[in-house]
Amino acid sequence: MANILCPIDFSEISACAIAYAELVAHRFLTSVTLFHAMEKQETRGDGHERVHATMEEQRRLVTMVPVEAQFRPIDFMHGIAEESGNGHALMVCATHGPHGLKQSLFGSDMLKLVRKVKVPSLVVQGHSPLPNHFGTIVMPVAAHTDIDHLLEAVTLLAKPFGSTVHIYRLIRPGEEPSEALLRNKDRMESFLRQKQVPFINAEEPSHAFSVGFSGATIAYAERVNAGCIAIMSVASEEYRYIADAEKERLLTNPKGIPVLCAA
The residues pairing with 7 across neighbouring beta strands, listed in sequence order, are: 35
Averaged pLDDT for residues 205-215:
73
Cα Rg of the chain, angstroms: 18
Confidence at 177, pLDDT banded by 50, 70, 90: confident
Q: Is the peptide bond before 73 cis (omega within 30 degrees of 0)?
A: no
pLDDT attached to residue 212: 72
Q: What class is the 3-124 domain?
A: alpha beta
Cα of first residue to Cα of last residue in the chain, in angstroms, is 20
pLDDT by residue (tens digit) across 43-60? 887 878 899 999 999 999
Question: For the chain, what are the domain ranges?
Answer: 3-124, 136-255
Partners of 232 in the β-ladder: 262
The pTM of the full predicted model, rounded to 2 decimals, is: 0.92
Query: What are the contacts of 204-209 at 24+ separation with CB within 8 A?
Result: 204/170, 204/171, 205/170, 205/171, 205/172, 205/173, 206/170, 206/171, 206/172, 206/173
pLDDT at 123: 96
Backbone angles phi, psi at 100, to 5 degrees: 80, 140
Average pLDDT for residues 97-105, to the nearest whole number? 47
3-state secondary structure 194-229: HCCCCEEEEEEECCCCCCCCHHHHHHHHHHCCCCEE
Same fold: 3-124 with 136-255: yes
Query: In the prediction, which pLDDT does 171 show?
Result: 87
- Read off the pLDDT of residues 104-161 as tens digits, 9 standing for 90 and up: 444 468 888 999 999 999 999 999 999 999 999 999 999 888 999 999 999 999 999 9
Dihedral angle at the C-alpha atoms of 240, 245, 249, 252, nearest 10 degrees? Answer: 110
- The domain at 136-255 falls in which architecture? 3-Layer(aba) Sandwich (3.40)
Across the range 50-74, mean pLDDT stands at 94
Q: Which helix (H) or strand (E) holds 122?
A: strand 121-124
